[in-house]
Amino acid sequence: MWTGLGLLLALCVLSRGRAESQGKSTRCKEPPTWYIGEENPMLESRGKVTVVALLQASSFYIILYVSRMDDLHLKLENEGLVNISYMIVNHQGEYSQHKHNLLKQRVSEFIPVYKQDMEKPNVWNLLNGNKDDFLIYDRCGRLVYHLGLPYSVLHFPYMEEAIRIAFCETRCGNCSFTVKDINEICNRTENTDEPVEEPPPTSVPDPPQQNPQHHGAHRHHRQHGHQ
């Protein structure tokens, strides 16, 4: 199954730890409304699983690595996990704003990169987020996961797992935007890693033999005994 227990635990522990350190749980809650200019990106993504990345364009590493978001987007889309909204909110600082286009050039048109207004409230603060955090919302805009480092590193499977969970499961309860198709999609992806066939009875190993040298003879003898 794609929901490995260890992974799930890691995800749960992280999001709970975060919530506790903030004094109140933001899990399964909608975030405060935030704007980029006149735009309300969360409202525009309503009805879709939404992945919000808080990235700082000033870091050379981030600029190199951000194209992995496109890779993940394509990978999941090929598996049928479509209609997911991905977006990046750049850091509000002056230097990051200055480097904004570098970040933007690194991702495809499918992933908007939002430049914060210096005069408006800092979106990262509104979301209780830090650099390199990813926030994953369900179709009703409720926070399912808030992943920070090291879990948000896209080389690791956590992000992908968390998106799958937000897409396939109802961690924050039902949402009327969920389409029927997801059962089929999620069944399919669930089965890809899992051997579904039971091993045929003949491949069940013999019980350990006391003397391996006599193994063949012993088995031959036993088969005769059954005839």
Ligand X SMILES: *[C@@H]1O[C@H](CO)[C@@H](O)[C@H](O)[C@H]1NC(C)=O
Distance (Å, whole) CA 23 – CA 125? 14
Shortest Cβ 179–ligand X spacing (Å): 4
Q: Would you count residue 197 as binding ligand X (CB under 6 A)?
A: no
Secondary structure element (H or E) that encloses residue 134, with its range: strand 133-137
Shortest Cβ 187–ligand X spacing (Å): 4
Other C-beta atoms closer than 10 Å to the C-beta of 114 total: 19
DSSP 3-state of 133: strand
Shortest Cβ 184–ligand X spacing (Å): 4
Q: Would you count residue 3 as binding ligand X (CB under 6 A)?
A: no
Nearer to ligand X, 57 or 87 (CB): 87
DSSP 3-state of 193: coil
Distance (Å, whole) CA 40 – CA 95? 24
Distance (Å, whole) CA 88 – CA 111? 7
Distance (Å, whole) CA 35 – CA 139? 19
Compose the 24-63 pattern: x for residues touching ligand X by CB under 6 A, - for all others: ----------------------------------------
Distance (Å, whole) CA 84 – CA 82? 5
Take residue 14 and report the two structure tokens written for it: 């992280």
Q: Would you count residue 102 as binding ligand X (CB under 6 A)?
A: no
Nearer to ligand X, 13 or 179 (CB): 179
Stretch that binds ligand X, among 21-29, 52-60, 114-122, 174-182 (CB under 6 A): 174-182
Distance (Å, whole) CA 172 – CA 139? 10
User: Residue 169 CA to chain centroid, in angstroms?
Assistant: 12
Stretch that binds ligand X, among 1-9, 30-38, 120-128, 180-188 (CB under 6 A): 180-188
Q: Would you count residue 77 as binding ligand X (CB under 6 A)?
A: no
Q: Would you count residue 184 as binding ligand X (CB under 6 A)?
A: yes
Shortest Cβ 46–ligand X spacing (Å): 12
Q: Would you count residue 105 as binding ligand X (CB under 6 A)?
A: no
Residues within the interface to ligand X (CB under 6 A): 82-83, 174, 179, 181-184, 187
